[in-house]
């Protein structure tokens, strides 16, 4: 079945560690996105990529990094520079044509311990 | 800068009632407006997408309307069921990069 797979579902990070969240899609979508969701708040865009080997910062990119070496994959690294990383992270993708909807993965919970 | 607001933040109604969820936006220059559903601890599921040139879209018991002049979209749920309990979010892309501006969502509880 086509879809977006995020892993791991739950991740615990120690202070000072970098962690990487995986996002893979087999929908042949061009654009991919990473969002952060905090309780009671709307989704905030971290990074997005419209095409392989290219990506742009969103509203809250500080402390995060991404890569887009393959069309199917858009991993997000939460670095030690991100001071408040505990959140729910959502990956999404979209076919780059006017009006197409955006599809989401099931999300990854990151907790700092 | 575009702002998207959803009021109320939470809503509880008895099963069987028809209900309306509201989404307001400050800038009418939107490409489209989308409604999503999110179950607790899960990702988002797209419900309806209304193009900027459209007035409404329907899917089953759901009907979404768009009034750009008033900066408002509504999601109408007919004959509500306990399975409709979830958080409903609206979002609008502001440019060709499709950066969505999100509302904070309305948490809906349908009481059996």
**CB contact set of A79 (below 8 Å; sequence gap of 6+):** A18, A63, A64, A65
Q: Is the pLDDT of residue A16 over 90?
A: no
Nearest Cα of chain B lies from the Cα of A14 at a distance, in angstroms, of: 22
**A101/B41 Cβ within 8 A:** no
User: So what's the pLDDT on residue B95?
Assistant: 73
pLDDT at residue number A101 = 79
**pLDDT higher at B94 or A30:** A30
Q: Of A3, A41, A43, A49, which to mutate for an interface test with B (greatest number of B Cβ within 10 Å)?
A: A43
Cβ <8 Å between A42 and B49: no
- B6: closest chain A residue by CA: A42
Whether B80 and chain A come into contact, CB under 8 Å, resolves to no
Tens-level pLDDT at each residue, chain B (112 residues): 889 999 999 999 999 999 999 999 998 888 889 999 999 888 999 999 998 899 999 999 999 999 999 999 999 999 999 999 999 999 998 776 678 889 999 999 999 9
3-state SS of B37-98 is EECCCCCEEEEEEEECCCCEEEECCEEEEEECCCCEEEEEECCCCHHHCEEEEEEEECCCCC
Give the closest-approach CA distance of B101 to chain A in angstroms: 8
Whole-angstrom Cα distance, residue B25 to residue B35?
A: 13
In chain B, residues with a C-beta closer than 8 Å to the C-beta of A107 are: 41-43
Q: Do B105 and A105 touch (CB under 8 A)?
A: no
The predicted structure's pLDDT at residue B96 = 67
């Amino acid at each position: 079945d086509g879809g977006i797979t995020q892993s791991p579902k739950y991740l615990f990070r120690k202070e000072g560690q970098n962690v990487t969240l995986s996002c893979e899609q087999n929908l042949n979508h061009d654009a991919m996105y990473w969002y952060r969701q905090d309780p009671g708040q709307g989704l905030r865009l971290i990074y997005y990529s419209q095409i392989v080997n290219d990506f742009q910062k969103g509203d809250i990119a500080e402390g995060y990094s991404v890569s887009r070496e393959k069309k199917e994959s858009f991993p997000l690294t939460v670095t030690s520079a991100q001071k408040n990383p505990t959140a729910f992270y959502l990956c999404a993708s979209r076919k780059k044509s006017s009006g197409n909807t955006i599809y989401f993965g099931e999300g990854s919970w990151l907790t700092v311990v | 800068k575009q702002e998207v607001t959803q009021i109320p933040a939470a809503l509880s109604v008895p099963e069987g009632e028809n209900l309306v969820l509201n989404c307001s936006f400050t800038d009418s220059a939107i490409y489209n407006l989308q409604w999503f559903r999110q179950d607790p601890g899960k990702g988002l599921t797209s419900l309806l997408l209304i193009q900027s040139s459209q007035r409404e879209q329907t899917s089953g018991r759901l009907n979404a309307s768009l009034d750009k002049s008033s900066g408002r979209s509504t999601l109408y749920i007919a004959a509500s069921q306990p399975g409709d309990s979830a958080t409903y979010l609206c979002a609008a892309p502001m440019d060709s990069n499709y950066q969505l501006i999100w509302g904070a969502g309305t948490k809906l509880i349908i009481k059996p």
